[in-house]
Amino acid sequence: MIKIRGLNKWFGDLHVLKDIDMDVSPKEVVVVIGASGSGKSTLLRCLNFLEFAQKGNIYIDGVEANAKSKNLHTVRADVGMVFQHFNLFPHRTVMGNVIEGLTQVKRISSKEAVEQGEDLLKKVGLSDKADVYPAMLSGGQKQRVAIARALAMKPKIMLFDEPTSALDPELVGEVLQVMKTLALEGMTMMVVSHEMGFAREVGDRVVYMDEGSIIEEGPPSVIYSNPKNERTKAFLGQIL
């Protein structure tokens, strides 16, 4: 579904991604962990072309895309993104947020879009909030709307960039629950998160990154219980 080869990214002199090779298979759930500054968020943002790598190749569903691609926006539509700070559109209602991509990008009639929007809101348990503005929602509700908004485009893969880091602890569960359901339904997912419970339950693979490189990867049971690399051990020792 996603193929990354030799990806390198610099911010000025700072080398943030170093020769990243990675494959994500269809229906696979990959959890990326690592300290802040390890490049994990940048990697995700490169996959949605919000950042452009200077070197290397990214293939989404077999098609290569880069800064020069003409149809970048259609590539992005196939890659759903959920942000740490939700980034809901404050001037649109919950329903307006969910159907924005449908009416503007997919050019579906608004009546049809609203029907799909209702299904999506039901899926994330927010049917009763359709006409509310984002300012009135809790963080957990906002993130669930953001997930519904991304799902509306029927993406081939969903990227989650620390989806629960900005939430109060008691709101984390409701967001993870929606993500688990998605994973069980067979959505291909790449998740930057330190939620170990989530990773163990639905993650197929955990990738540990440090200083722009992939240090170690493997099934959650192995990475969390039996990491081989010293840096992985040290990092897990800090967060667990």
Partner 1 sequence: MIDLPWDFTAIPRFFPGFYAAALLTLQITFFGILVGLVLGLVTGLMRLSKNPLFNTPAKAYIWVIRGTPLLLQLMIIYYGLIDLVSIDRMPAAIIGLGVHNGAYIAEIFRGAIQSVERGQREAALSLGMTESQAMRRIILPQAFKRSVPPLGNQFIIALKDSSLASAIAVRELLLRARQMGSSTLMMLEMLMIVGIYYLMMTTVLNLLMGRIEKRLEVSDYKD
* Torsion of Cα atoms, 197 then 201 then 207 then 211, to 10°: -10
Say whether residue 89 binds partner 1 (CB under 8 A): yes
In the chain, the amino acid numbered 203 is: G
Using DSSP bridges, classify how beta strands 63-64 and 55-60 pair: parallel, antiparallel or unpaired.
antiparallel
Q: Does 110 bind partner 1 (CB under 8 A)?
A: no
Q: Which of 24, 88, 121, 157 binds partner 1 (CB under 8 A)?
A: 88
Q: Pick from 39, 80, 140, 212: which binds partner 1 (CB under 8 A)? A: 80
- CB nearer to partner 1: pick between 49 and 198: 49
Least distance between partner 1 and beta carbon 48 (Å) = 5
If one asks whether residue 153 binds partner 1 (CB under 8 A), the answer comes out as: yes
| Cα–Cα distance, 127 to 30 (Å, whole number) | 29
Enumerate the β-bridge partners of residue 150. Answer: none
Given 12, 13, 62, 90, the residue binding partner 1 (CB under 8 A): 90
Those residues whose C-beta lies under 8 Å from the C-beta of residue 154, and which sit 6 or more positions away, are: none
Indicate whether 130 belongs to the interface with partner 1 (CB under 8 A).
no
Residue 68 touching partner 1 (CB under 8 A): no
Cβ-based burial of 118 (10 A; exposed 0-12, middle 13-18, buried ≥19): middle
Min CB(99)–partner 1 separation in Å: 11
Is position 63 an interface residue for partner 1 (rule: CB under 8 A)?
no
Q: Does 127 bind partner 1 (CB under 8 A)?
A: no
Question: Contact with partner 1 (CB under 8 A): which of 8, 10, 35, 50?
Answer: 50
Is residue 11 a contact point for partner 1 (CB under 8 A)? no
Q: If binding is defined by CB under 8 A, does position 135 make contact with partner 1?
A: yes
Which of 50, 13, 237 lies closest to 58 in space, CA to CA?
50
CB neighbourhood size of 203 (10 A): 25
Q: Is 10 exposed, middle or buried (0-12, 13-18, 19+ CB in 10 A)?
A: middle
Give me the residues that bind partner 1 (CB under 8 A), please: 48-50, 73-74, 76-81, 83, 85, 87-92, 100-101, 104-105, 132-133, 135-136, 146, 149-150, 153
